[in-house]
Amino acid sequence: MTPDETRDRMADLERRLGAVVLGQERAVRQLIWAYVAGGHVLLEGPPGLGKTLLVQSFATLVDASFRRIQFTPDLMPADVLGTTIFRPQDGTFEFSAGPVFTEILMADEINRTPPKTQAALLEAMQEGQVTMDGKTRPLPPGFFVAATQNPLEYEGTYPLPEAQLDRFLLKVRLEYPDAEAEQAILEAHGDRLELKPAGLSGLHASLDAATRSQLRQFAASVRIDPSIRDYLIQLVHATREDARLRVGASTRGAVLWMFVAKVAAACDGRDYLRPDDLKETAHAVLRHRLTRQPETEIEGVEIETIVDSILERVKAPGLEKTESA
């Protein structure tokens, strides 16, 4: 697949998804980044902004099986992974697969279930498999988790531990749409008394498995100049040395940041990485991997503000050297 073909495919997917989920262009783009990069995504935003619609529509467009789990305080690991059932008629045990055995899993309000059930997803997200009763069962190729959480409610929730957060490639924030987008949403529902968008029923798959594989192969082949790699390392080290942060980006975080930046470059129709690709993807990659000092948190300094100051402070390499690589 050529750079132009990759760009056109990505743009078409983004356009189709954006036509259903209005006013969330950034979230749409970042969800595509995570999927093509082979990672998982944590969607954060108030209720009613289209998180479920976004994931469900995306599953349709990429022609993938889709299951949704509503996470609640009484949800058990077996409700996610499955369980072994005894068949008394023939004296055998049979495994009944849980909803995790799908291509795209939506873990709705994941922070409303206890840590034991949250942890049930760790192996699935990291290894693409589930081990129960001493037997390992593989999940479908390209297994993708899109989890959601509401940042406004804390009562009755269980904040995700760092080990769980680190399994998510990106943390994507859905914001309230602007007035123009909200006007378009109201117009789209003007002649119907239902919340289901009119465009949802007309969605059809635009990417088959072979094309998805080609997109990932192209993104993986995007070249990174040594100067860009050094720039990435400097940025990561700057997060560890910043006095406002208690925990900086890990080595795994640096590798994943490079992966996402490659996908962003591929979306732009390029086979080489630019410093701007790292800058564009920085917030979504780092906002859940950095931990503020208590005093920084009390002062109300946001992670994104710290990341922006680091990006401004660390000098980027010249673009001419990057393009000639």
DSSP state of 272: B
Query: Which pair of structure tokens corresponds to residue 144?
Result: 């993708």
Domain extent for 80: 1-221
| 58 in the same domain as 204 | yes
Q: Looking at residues 26-45, what average pLDDT do you find?
A: 95
Query: Which pair of structure tokens corresponds to residue 293?
Result: 């000092």
Residue 33: pLDDT band (50, 70, 90) is: very high
Nearest to 220 by CA among 186, 274, 266: 266
DSSP state of 222: -
| 248 in the same domain as 152 | no
Query: Which pair of structure tokens corresponds to residue 176?
Result: 């309230």
| 102 in the same domain as 6 | yes
Q: Within a 13 Å sphere around the CA of 82, how many CA atoms are in the beta-carbon half?
A: 21
Nearest to 51 by CA among 212, 180, 206, 176: 176
Task: Look at residue 323 in the predicted model and tell me its pLDDT.
Answer: 40
Please provide residue 117's backbone torsions phi and psi, each rounded to the nearest 5 degrees.
-80, -35
- Note the pTM of the prediction, 2 decimals: 0.90
Q: What is the rounded distance in angstroms from the CA atom of residue 308 to the CA atom of residue 117? A: 35
- What's the domain count of the chain? 2
Q: Looking at residues 161-184, what average pLDDT do you find?
A: 91
| 87 in the same domain as 33 | yes
Ramachandran quadrant class, 315 (left: phi over 0; alpha: psi -120 to 50; beta: rest): beta
| 125 in the same domain as 76 | yes
| 267 in the same domain as 180 | no
Q: What is the rounded distance in angstroms from the CA atom of residue 179 to the CA atom of residue 207? A: 32
Q: What is the rounded distance in angstroms from the CA atom of residue 267 to the CA atom of residue 263? A: 6
Nearest to 306 by CA among 221, 253, 231, 248: 248
| Least trusted range by pLDDT, from 89-103, 120-134, 190-204 | 190-204
